Amino acid sequence: MRIAELTPPPPHHHHRHHTSPPPSRASPHLASLISHLDSLIIQSSQHSPLPPSLPSDLRHCVTRLSQLAQLGPFPNPTKLQIWSLCFRLWNSCVDYSNSKSKSKSDSEAVDDGHAEMRHVAADLLWIVVDVEGVPAPELKTASFYHRTGLIWYEKKGFEKAIECFERATSLISKMETESRGNEVDRETRKLLFDVNVARARTAWDTKELNVAIALLNRCKKGTEDSATRYLSLANQYLLFGKSLCRWRDKNEEEKRSGDGGNDDGEALRMMNEALELCERGLRVVKRREEAVSFKELRDKTLRFVAAVNLNKEEFESVIKCVRVLRENSCDQHPSLSVLAMKGWLGLGRFGEAEKELRGMVVENGIPEGIWVTAVEAYFKTVGVAGVETVRSVFMGLLGRCSVSAAAAIRVVCKVVGDGGNDAGGEGEKVRASLAAELAADERVVALFVGDRRGKERTNMHAVLWNYAAAYFKTKDYKISAELFEKAMLYVPSGMESRILRAKGFRVLSLCHLGLSQLDQAQEYIDEADKLEPNIACAFLKFKIFLQNNNHDAAISQVQAMMSCTDFTTDFLSLAAHEAVACAANPVAVAALSNLLNFYSSGKMMPISEVVVLRTVVTILLQKPDNEQDALIFMKKAQARMAELGPDKFFGKKEVGRRERSWFATTAWNNGTRTGEAKIYDLCTEYFMLASDFYGVVMEGEVEGNDPMVCKSIILSVSAMIAAEKQNKVAFVDAEVKHTIEMLDKARKMLASISTVDKLLDSQDGKTDANHHFIYTFNAYELYGRLKDSGSQQLAVKSFANSKACNPKYLLQIGLTASEGPLFNSEVATYALNASLTHLFASPTPDYQNIAMIIRRLITVSVACKNNFDDEDAAVYALYRQAYRIMVGLKEGEYPVEEGKWLATTAWNRASVPVRLGQVDSGKKWMTLGLELARNVPGMETYRASMEDYIAGFEKNSCKDVKQELKPMVTD
């Protein structure tokens, strides 16, 4: 508002607003300054927009005028001239503000420069406030400061606003000590009231709460039975109370920790002050319109009081406030039902709360947001027990009024709650059932129809989808499938939503797959495949085939998966995992076999090739009779190792060494297993693989596992020989020579001192000695096939001289060499004698084996001696050796049957010399037989007959009588 509209111009102001009277009795310097100020004010009225430097130039002039005023008072004409300039400047600001407000809002109409110019106008009046000839100059100056402060307040320039308000207060306080008439006093009191209210608002916004409250309390004195001031002050108290509630809401953590109670208490105190002022205002109102305003403000304040009490959980007070409002208010605010319902809920009177909630269905005037809030609050407190009430209320509202899609989403969200965090509970299942029922209702679905409802439709779909996903995570597939189906109702059927619909069909297929409803799962995945054929659909079909135990179809589906455009090798790994989980090992092997084909291209793969091969072999070996198939992949691993190199194939450092050890150990174990099962062909292959894997030298190693390589070679040769005998297909010479070459490699390892030490010092020294024996035995047999007797002897002697030698091993070699197609008298004699030597060296000789060796040596000697005398001497020596062994033994310590055999065969060997008349030779054998019989228990009868025959033989031999020895036969 322009100044001319508020107050008449000062006296002597007869010039146009753009001219200024010349200064009277003023110094030239002051005159020059006023002239400069006049030119600046003229610029302010002629330029739009304002020059940027104009506010600062005006402020500079005010500063200089203030400095000159401190030197002495200005003449009154000069003061009047300054007043005139101030009024012109203020009116220019008003004109500028009016022009700007036509295109912008009021808050934007005043920029900082404009506000500063108004501030300059007020400061000019402050300098010459003691002017004569102007009525109530302090009041006008204070009014300028008050209006300028309000502008700064609106622009959040609180410091400058406070400065303006404080100067206005200072001027008004000065006027209170003077009496200028009732009219002036009335205006002064009104301005003081307005200034104090403005100061209180500014202090409140700068968080000086105590100052703000003190200033409001001052305002009570200035009401003077003015209904307008009562209304303004009451409204300000209410605003402060509401502001405290907002601050409380922003600091919920302080509220939970117990610090929010003070805000609520202070807010209530503010609102009670507002109520008291309303009551006092109602007593002084003179017009009906004013009474209506007070009642509306009182009702509004009471509603906020009820809300604060609700937050403080003082529910009785809430109900009292609602009752007062319903009894005394003609306009029933929609929030009353919500407040009453929450109050009854807080008191635990759910029946009363339900009445309030159901009453909202009948009242047409309740906005949608109000009843949605009420439904949310009711369901939050009552929980699952209020499901039926919420359902009936919502359905009733659907039938009574126009419900928006956003409201439906809010209700479903509240029913859903935390999204299925306790999805396993019965209460959550009831929630899920209600959510599905609401979402499936035709009236609810109709709310989301149309292109303009795309956002709401998306939101509802997201709510139901996420809720269903929560149940899916808990493996409650039945509820999950129901909710996913309802979510599909909110997916458009157009081409743009094909992907979303396909996603829904896929997840429904998964749910029914989890429920083992395979037919339904197949139907849904077929629909998804029609909309969006991709690897996900192909993989789900694969899972369905697995669940149906249709392994052939599953293997075919693996090939179909590989033909998808978005196929990645990860799905082959996943398919193998699913197949293993379903105990479909052939399917798993097929998937991994296809995966192995991708490694030959050299492309980077997420899983190393050795891991895939190890997995395939492991799967195959889980079931018996798969050794042949496992061997194929073991050989593939061997070939890839040779192609890529050990470090690249197995990996480096400890990882690579573990992988190599696994393949070597697996080959060894399978060789052992197939050998025990007498599948010697496979046994040969596995031990040959084991020798290759054990012999691999990794980075940082000097040599492979030579002891295990040696063992593997020896056992592979043994398996080859066993397979030959089993298949009844003899080795050709080339095969024999190849086998001997393999044994020669093992011989070199055995000859190595380091290897032998490892063999003998190992914890399984017995097993290692067995392998040395097996090598010797196989070498003897193979050299025998080549008629290489010298190599046979060398192999046996080498074994006999080794630390691995054992008398039982030598005995076995000797027995083998002493009979059959591998007969070799030299080897047999050497091995048996060496075994005998070892047995005699024992502290507890095994006389059973000693007797058997002597008997076999006698047999070999008899079989291979061509000269009778040589044979007789060698055989006699063996009998004498047996006799010397038997002498001194306890009865039965030497095997009785072997003793009888020795005694009778020695006696019987005398028959030929006796028949030929070789008396001395015959007597020698008969005497030896008798001596042996005397050391064998149970031969007393034979011994007596022997003694009688020998006595008769000696008597007759003296008479040269030709005699015939009767052979001795034991039992």
Q: What is the DSSP string of 678-733?
A: T-HHHHHHHHHHHHHHHT---TT-SS--HHHHHHHHHHHHHHHHHHHHHHT-PPPH
Task: Please say whether the beta carbons of 720 and 740 come within 8 A.
Answer: no
pLDDT at 21: 42
> Does position 399 have pLDDT exceeding 80, yes or no?
no
pLDDT for 270-296, tens place per residue? 888 888 888 888 888 888 888 888 888
Residue 753: its pLDDT value, please? 45
Count of CA atoms in the C-beta half-sphere (13 A) of 723: 18
Say what the pLDDT of residue 940 is.
84
Answer whether 467's CB lies under 8 Å from 419's CB.
yes
SS3 15: coil
Name, in order, each residue with C-beta under 8 angstroms of 18's C-beta and a sequence gap of 6 or more: 42, 45, 88
Taking only the tens place, the pLDDT of each residue in 140-158 is 988 998 999 999 999 888 8
Name the token pair of 757: 């030490």
Q: What is the DSSP string of 616-645?
A: HHHHHHTSTT-HHHHHHHHHHHHHHHHHH-
Tell me how far apart the alpha carbons of residues 336 and 327 are, in angstroms, rounded to a whole number: 12
Q: Which of 489, 494, 426 is nearest to 460 (CA)?
A: 489
* Pairs from 308-312 (Cβ < 8 Å, separation ≥ 24): 308/241, 308/245, 308/264, 308/267, 308/268, 308/271, 309/268, 310/339, 310/342, 310/343, 310/346, 311/245, 311/248, 311/264, 312/261, 312/264
**Region 605-629: what's the mean pLDDT?**
91
Quick one: pLDDT at residue 402? 61
Spell out the residues 6+ positions from residue 733 whose beta carbon is closer than 8 angstroms to its own.
Answer: 786
If you average pLDDT over residues 852-875, what whole number do you get?
76
For the segment 215-241, the average pLDDT, to the nearest whole number, is 83
Q: Is the peptide bond before 52 cis (omega within 30 degrees of 0)?
A: no
Residues 6+ apart with CB under 8 A from 904: 929, 942, 968, 969, 970
128 CB contacts (<8 Å, ≥6 apart)? 69, 74, 78, 79, 82, 83
Quick one: what percent of the chain has pLDDT higher than 90? Answer: 20
Predicted local confidence at residue 8, as pLDDT: 40
Judged by DSSP in three states, 792 sits in helix
Give the dihedral sign, CA 68/69/71/76: positive
What confidence tier does 401 reach under pLDDT thresholds 50, 70, 90?
A: low
Q: What is the pLDDT of residue 427?
A: 66
Q: In the prediction, which pLDDT does 106 show?
A: 45
pLDDT band at 720 (very low <50, low <70, confident <90, very high): very high
- In terms of pLDDT, which residue wins out, 697 or 367? 697
Q: Report the candidate in 416, 537, 422, 437 with the shortest Cα–Cα distance to residue 482.
A: 437
Prior bond of 51 cis (ω within 30°): no
Q: What is the pLDDT of residues 1-15, one digit of tens each?
A: 455 433 444 443 433
* Integer Cα distance of 190 and 207 in angstroms: 26
Tokens of 238: 């209410």
If you average pLDDT over residues 832-843, what whole number do you get? 87
Nearest Cα residue to 215 out of 201, 196, 195, 190? 196
Its pTM stands at 0.63
Question: What pLDDT does residue 109 have?
Answer: 45
Rounded mean pLDDT, 292-313: 85
**pLDDT, tens digit (0-9, with 9 covering 90-100), for 766-809:** 447 788 888 888 888 888 888 888 888 888 888 888 887 888 88
**Separation between Cα atoms, residue 67 and residue 691, nearest integer Å:** 109
Residue 262 has pLDDT above 70, yes or no: no
CA distances from 887 to 807, 879, 931, 937, 956 (A): 23, 12, 10, 13, 31
**Tokens read off for 509:** 């297929």
Determine the pLDDT at residue 358: 76
Mean pLDDT of the chain: 82
425, 386 Cβ separation under 8 angstroms = no
Residue 370: CB atoms within 10 A of its CB come to: 18
Q: Which pLDDT tens digit goes with each residue over 562-592?
A: 999 999 999 999 999 999 999 999 999 999 9
d(CA 537, CA 514): 16
Spell out the SS3 assignment of 377-428.
HHHHHHHHHHHHHHHHHHHHHHHHCCCCHHHHHHHHHHHHCCCCCCCCCHHH
Compute the distance between CA of residue 393 and CA of residue 523 in angstroms, rounded to an integer.
Answer: 38
